[in-house]
A and B are shown apart, each in its own frame.
Chain A
Amino acid sequence: MLKGRAFKFGDNISTDHIIPGKYAHLRSDLPELAKHVMEDADPTFANKVKPGDFIIAGKNFGLGSSREHAALVIKIAGVSAILVKSVARIFFRNAINQGLPVLICDTNKIDAGDEIEVNLATGVVTDLTNRGQLTFGKIPKVMLDILDEGGLVPYITKHGNFEL
């Protein structure tokens, strides 16, 4: 069970919003890089986010670059899951590969600041503030297996190969 506050963003949050290319020189210094998470979407986010909190956004979250650092800095910031209407392809794989769940649901029903609870096993999101409940779409099995192992590298280390 995941629990935290909702930080809300709009549609088309790109990898440049999440961690712009100008910080490429910090990519081998992850704690420093993570200080700039979501900077071009909300410069105050990095200071406000606490472990367990959620990023809630609209459609096409994470479009743009293949930089896995985008998923990585969100994970380092302590975000427990990303809830969106839809997600860009490469970001989706990257987040799962880092063990960070991305859940597809109708995020209009969640307001900024709401307390959220997510049950990954049942697929239910509960908004503890407005008492609403949402269900999120199924994640493909290969991705669930990777998520279960905490990411792709631990998955391959354990299994030595892909198992379909």
Chain B
Amino acid sequence: MGKTLSEKILSEKSGSDARAGDIVIAQVDLAFVQDTTGPLTIRQFKEIKHGRIANPQQTAIFLDHAIPSPNRQLSNDHKFLRRFAEDTGCLIFEGGSGICHQLVAEMFANPGDIIVGADSHTVTAGGLGAFATGMGSSDIAVVFALGKTWFRVPETFKISISGRFRKWVGAKDLVLHLISVLGADGATYKALEFNGNTVANMTISQRLTVANMAVEAGAKVGIFPSDNVTLRYLAAQRRGNKYRPLRPDDDANYERAIIIDASEIEPMVAMPHTVDNVAPVNMLAGTKIDQVFIGTCTNGRLEDLAIAATILKKKKCHPSVRLIIAPASQQVLTKAMRIGYIQVLAAAGAMILPPGCAACLGLHQGVLGDNEACLSTANRNFKGRMGNPEASIYLASPATAAASALTGEITDPRKVS
């Protein structure tokens, strides 16, 4: 019997014949924390009577959730993290470098790697063929110390996607559709593995968007094969030498098969307060919104800003809407400035925030007021997520978000361009 992508990677990294349901101990290629999970990780690490980081160059701290710091407590957490990096020689990425998952994609994630992070959206790196999953602080502290951890080898759902996306429909609409099919817990403990001719034509940016939201169906990983698209991305990031082709065996065993025709997908919106509460945009057309947020590890990449800039070019946001843009990384910001996207978005009335998580988690930079509604390109719309349990969050693509910023209400992007 052949192997799924997850079984192949876990076999290689554990030195065993890993099959779904097995418990294995596997070597980890990168372990990381961000600024809201890092302090507890370090305290747990210091509790382990060990004292040393196993692989400092494969251990990273990203300051992205609370940057620039909104208050003294978080500033002190940042100081604590910087000090730890100085003392141990692990890697640290300062505020403004970008969102951890975007930086992991740009600098670290290679096909066949195992990546664990103290952040649930660590699954994003599955877009590059890595077995990448989120864990809590204690688990990551132990990986810091040992360079390995235990995994239950997941059963896999095979997601086959064929057909061509319609105009202004893309990866975000696809993954919202998929989550509505699976349900918010429909893939708990499972691996989602993507294939099909649509996948072969998807850019890495699009693959990262889909992999990013695998966790919103409960999945442990969302993983793509490694192919020529992966090679081109790695080469552009000066990591061409890290490329290896990786695909599942033809006779691999799948628990479930899901077939999606991309040409049938409409622009989709997830309604409050769960990500699987999904409807086509037309069913929600006219819903008034107060804020639009384009950014995050889901949709803050260059292609996403390009879509927003195309729709907003030489236009102004509706006067009743606040548009917030946060590029996912410094690299994204720099390129978007060079091409002119940032100028277009600023001219349309957008507030441009530094690369980071920004409004996504309700900490600062875009907290909602009572009874306000936000249309966001993020991955979560839970009650209270954007800092106020009395507010509503709708999730959609950058195209739908930009179109809605123009009109002040949820709008099908095909209606405005």
Is B284 interfacial (CB-CB < 8 Å)?
no
Given contacts A21-B36, A153-B44, contact A64 B387 (CB under 8 A): no
Interface residues of A in 111-164 (CB under 8 A from B): 140-142, 151-153, 156-157, 160-162, 164
By the criterion CB–CB under 8 Å, are A164 and B383 in contact? no
Q: Mark A37-72, 1 if CB is under 8 A from B, else 0.
A: 000100000000000000000011001111111011
Is B352 interfacial (CB-CB < 8 Å)?
no
Name which residue of chain A comes closest to B46, CB basis.
Answer: A153
By the criterion CB–CB under 8 Å, are A64 and B382 in contact? yes
Interface residues of B in 369-412 (CB under 8 A from A): 380, 382-385, 387, 389
Which of B4-12, B138-146, B234-242 touches A?
B138-146
Which of B262-270, B334-342, B359-367 touches A?
B359-367
Identify the interface centre among A29, A65, A69: most chain B CB within 10 Å of its CB.
Answer: A65
In the bound complex, CA of A162 to CA of B137 (Å): 17
Which residue of the partner chain, among A12, A20, A90, A152, contacts B387 with CB atoms under 8 Å?
A20
Is B304 interfacial (CB-CB < 8 Å)?
no
Which of B74-82, B104-112, B295-303 touches A?
B74-82
By the criterion CB–CB under 8 Å, are B382 and A25 in contact? no
In the bound complex, CA of A66 to CA of B124 (Å): 14
Chain B residues near A140 (CB-CB < 8 A): 23, 152
Interface residues of B in 34-80 (CB under 8 A from A): 36-37, 39-40, 44, 47-50, 65-66, 70-71, 73-74, 76-77, 80
Q: Would you give the shortest CB distance from B53 to chain A, in whole angstroms? A: 14
Given contacts A140-B23, A164-B23, contact A17 B383 (CB under 8 A): yes
By the criterion CB–CB under 8 Å, are A157 and B274 in contact? no
Identify the interface centre among B118, B142, B384: most chain A CB within 10 Å of its CB.
Answer: B384
Which residue of the partner chain, among B74, B136, B387, contacts A93 with CB atoms under 8 Å?
B136
Which residue of the partner chain, among A59, A67, A89, A160, contacts B37 with CB atoms under 8 Å?
A67
Which residue of the partner chain, among A25, A88, A151, A162, contacts B25 with CB atoms under 8 Å?
A162
Is A97 interfacial (CB-CB < 8 Å)?
yes
By the criterion CB–CB under 8 Å, are A152 and B220 in contact? no
Chain A residues near B47 (CB-CB < 8 A): 153, 157
By the criterion CB–CB under 8 Å, are A27 and B136 in contact? no
In the bound complex, CA of A153 to CA of B41 (Å): 11
By the criterion CB–CB under 8 Å, are A64 and B139 in contact? no
Q: Would you give the shortest CB distance from B132 to chain A, in whole angstroms? A: 12
By the criterion CB–CB under 8 Å, are A90 and B138 in contact? no
By the criterion CB–CB under 8 Å, are A28 and B188 in contact? no
**5 closest A-B pairs by CB:** A68-B136, A21-B361, A94-B136, A60-B185, A25-B73
Interface residues of B in 160-191 (CB under 8 A from A): 184-185, 188-189
By the criterion CB–CB under 8 Å, are A21 and B362 in contact? yes
By the criterion CB–CB under 8 Å, are B134 and A66 in contact? yes
Is A14 interfacial (CB-CB < 8 Å)?
yes
Is B193 interfacial (CB-CB < 8 Å)?
no
Which residue of the partner chain, among B136, B145, B184, contacts A66 with CB atoms under 8 Å?
B136
In the bound complex, CA of A17 to CA of B185 (Å): 17
By the criterion CB–CB under 8 Å, are B362 and A152 in contact? no
Q: List 6 A-B contacts (CB under 8 A).
A: A12-B184, A16-B362, A27-B39, A60-B218, A63-B218, A164-B25
Is A22 interfacial (CB-CB < 8 Å)?
yes
Is A98 interfacial (CB-CB < 8 Å)?
yes
What is the total number of residues of chain B having a CB less than 8 Å from a CB of chain A?
Answer: 57
Is A86 interfacial (CB-CB < 8 Å)?
yes
Given contacts A24-B363, A66-B119, contact A90 B135 (CB under 8 A): yes
Name which residue of chain B comes closest to A72, CB basis.
Answer: B40
Which residue of the partner chain, among B77, B134, B384, contacts A40 with CB atoms under 8 Å?
B384
Chain A residues near B137 (CB-CB < 8 A): 68, 94
Name which residue of chain A comes closest to B379, CB basis.
Answer: A64
By the criterion CB–CB under 8 Å, are B40 and A68 in contact? yes
Name which residue of chain A comes closest to B389, CB basis.
Answer: A40
Name which residue of chain A comes closest to B34, CB basis.
Answer: A66
Interface residues of A in 1-45 (CB under 8 A from B): 12, 14, 16-17, 20-22, 24-29, 40
* A22-B362, A59-B185, A156-B146 known, 7 other contacts, Cβ within 8 Å: A60-B185, A66-B37, A94-B138, A140-B152, A141-B23, A152-B138, A153-B138
By the criterion CB–CB under 8 Å, are A17 and B142 in contact? no
Q: Would you give the shortest CB distance from B326 to chain A, in whole angstroms? A: 15
Is B120 interfacial (CB-CB < 8 Å)?
yes
Chain A residues near B122 (CB-CB < 8 A): 66
Chain A residues near B188 (CB-CB < 8 A): 60, 86, 88-89
In the bound complex, CA of A14 to CA of B275 (Å): 11
By the criterion CB–CB under 8 Å, are A89 and B146 in contact? no
In the bound complex, CA of A121 to CA of B119 (Å): 33
Chain A residues near B148 (CB-CB < 8 A): 162
By the criterion CB–CB under 8 Å, are A16 and B363 in contact? no
Chain B residues near A151 (CB-CB < 8 A): 138
Q: Would you give the shortest CB distance from A76 to chain B, in whole angstroms? A: 13
In the bound complex, CA of A156 to CA of B143 (Å): 11
Chain B residues near A160 (CB-CB < 8 A): 50
Identify the interface centre among B23, B37, B136, B149: most chain A CB within 10 Å of its CB.
Answer: B136
In the bound complex, CA of A141 to CA of B23 (Å): 10
Chain B residues near A157 (CB-CB < 8 A): 47-49
In the bound complex, CA of A60 to CA of B119 (Å): 18
